[in-house]
Amino acid sequence: MKIFIISLKSATKRREIAKTQLSKTNLSYEFFDAVQGASDAINAFSEINSWKFLLNSLREPLPEEIGCYASHRALWRKSVILNEPIVILEDDFKLNPLFAQTISEVGEHINTFGFIRLESSKRNSSILKRLRPRTYNVLNLRNHSLQYLSDPPQSMTAYAISPKAAKTLLTVSKIFTAPVDKFVQRTWEHATPIFVLEPAVVEASEIRANNNSTINIAGGRSRKSRNPMLLLSRMIYKGFGEVQRIRFDRKQIHRLGLSSFSPTK
């Protein structure tokens, strides 16, 4: 599979770190010049739905978020044009020693499963989400297990995608309603099940771990609205989403022949 790294053209230090890591794998890769800001990204979407974005994030969208989303969409389009699966990395990644070997194995299954996260599914969650199963084992690989992910965490650092899944995501994401990771989280809206490798072969680099991603540096993510009517609307919106998620999960569990009583965690 071709590997594409989303990176700002000016991010020379990040590119050097990425090159150093990938040079040890003997895998071919290509840098994709990230779309920078809202003005360059505006043609990637037919509309920016500010109200829906408020419901998803309790704030206005950042130009960097629009550019990041547009960059992922451009690579989804690339997969469709090439008519082959690809691997997409954001430039603040850290590779596991088994990355190269695992990518070859993932390539054997990506057209079947569509979207496979290469980074961990672990995250801090609310008590309600901790009580709900999050992953179900689907397939045992050589050194990993492939799991169906019922509640994808945010972050789009590393994943493989098939042209079929890419085409579906492209079609549904024409209107900008959320950051790209929150959009992918809402599986019932784009009807693309998300799978994950465990243990992960990619993790966030020190840049991401220290909250120094390009978007976080830009600021604004912490400035969320406390408008009572908006908070109430968001609560209803999220509640409706949870009902849809459960319905979607049940369909996937049935389709994959999984037991709803035997989750992996």
Close Cβ partners of 244 (under 8 Å, ≥ 6 residues apart): 188, 189
Query: Which amino acid, residue 217?
Result: I
Per-residue model confidence as pLDDT tens digits over 105-114: 999 999 999 9
Per-residue model confidence as pLDDT tens digits over 150-194: 888 889 999 999 999 999 999 999 999 999 999 999 999 999 999
Token pair 């599914």 is at which residue? 121
Q: What is the pLDDT of residue 69?
A: 95
Q: Full-prediction pTM beyond 0.75? A: yes
Q: Which residues pair with 175 in a beta bridge?
A: 47
Cα radius of gyration rounded to whole Å, the chain = 18
CA distance 198 to 121: 8
CA distance 140 to 163: 24
Residue 220 — very low, low, confident or very high, per pLDDT cuts 50/70/90?
A: low
What is the H or E stretch that residue 33 is in? strand 29-33
The residue count of the chain comes to 265
pLDDT for residue 38 is more than 80: no
Contact yes or no for 110/139 (Cβ under 8 A): no
The CATH code that applies to domain 2-255 is 3.90.550
Residue 145: name the closest of 124, 122, 116, 112 by CA.
116
Compute φ and ψ for 120, nearest 5 degrees. -65, 155
Residue 83 — very low, low, confident or very high, per pLDDT cuts 50/70/90?
A: very high
Query: Which amino acid, residue 239?
Result: G
Q: Which residues pair with 2 in a beta bridge?
A: 86
Lowest mean pLDDT among 10-19, 56-65, 180-189, 219-228: 219-228
